[in-house]
Amino acid sequence: MRLTDSRIKRTIENSGGNFVPEEFFHGRNNLKNKAVKELVEWRNWMGFKFQITSAYRQTGSHKYGSSFDGLIWSKWKTEQPEPDHIWRLMTTWKWHGVGIYFDWKNGIGSHVDIVPRTLRTRPLRWIRVEGTYYYQDLKTGIFRAESGKTTTLENEIQIYNF
């Protein structure tokens, strides 16, 4: 069933508010109601604004209507929390997929989703640095690129240019 703006608005209101349907951009009627509900509840729980930069699109995990990219702001559009705090906010919640992007021009980008494991085409957690994706081994915590190069979240935070 396709979402309408009125149904999205009801979901937002029933989940604690803090969004308006227009923040989900074009294609929002292709989003899963459960994903909208999860995002609203998460934004209210973490206490920070989450500026959506991409919701539904026809590529990657976003094509399932259950993924969101965005920026987390502690002071609206001027200051972000520390990168390790952003990671904890994303990984403490019940998201299925979590990614953090150190190569966005407007700050540290983030990806959260509730895409089922059966539909996943890549691992559950990743970071991106200078266009290269590093996927986390959940047993060791190490992130590995397809090239074999490894890194850690702590290392990337240290070298990130604030």
Q: How many Å is the maximal CA-CA distance in the chain?
A: 47
What's the CA gap between 117 and 151, in Å, rounded? 24
Cβ-based neighbours of 140, under 8 Å, separated by 6 or more: none
Share of the chain above pLDDT 70, in %: 98
Summarised one tens digit per residue, pLDDT across range 103-153 is: 998 899 999 999 988 888 777 999 999 999 999 998 999 999 999 999 999
Q: What is the pLDDT of residue 90?
A: 96
What's the CA gap between 138 and 124, in Å, rounded? 9
Judged by phi (left if over 0) then psi (alpha if -120 to 50, else beta), residue 62 lies in alpha
Q: Residue 76 is encoded by which pair of tokens?
A: 């609206």
Q: Domain 5-159 adopts which CATH fold? A: Muramoyl-pentapeptide Carboxypeptidase; domain 2 (3.30.1380)
Summarised one tens digit per residue, pLDDT across range 36-53 is: 999 999 999 999 999 999
Rounded (5°) CA angle 86-79-99: 25
Strands 97-101 and 125-129: parallel
Judged by phi (left if over 0) then psi (alpha if -120 to 50, else beta), residue 17 lies in left
Strand partners, 79: 75
> Which residue ranges make up each domain of the chain?
5-159
Q: What is the pLDDT of residue 133?
A: 96
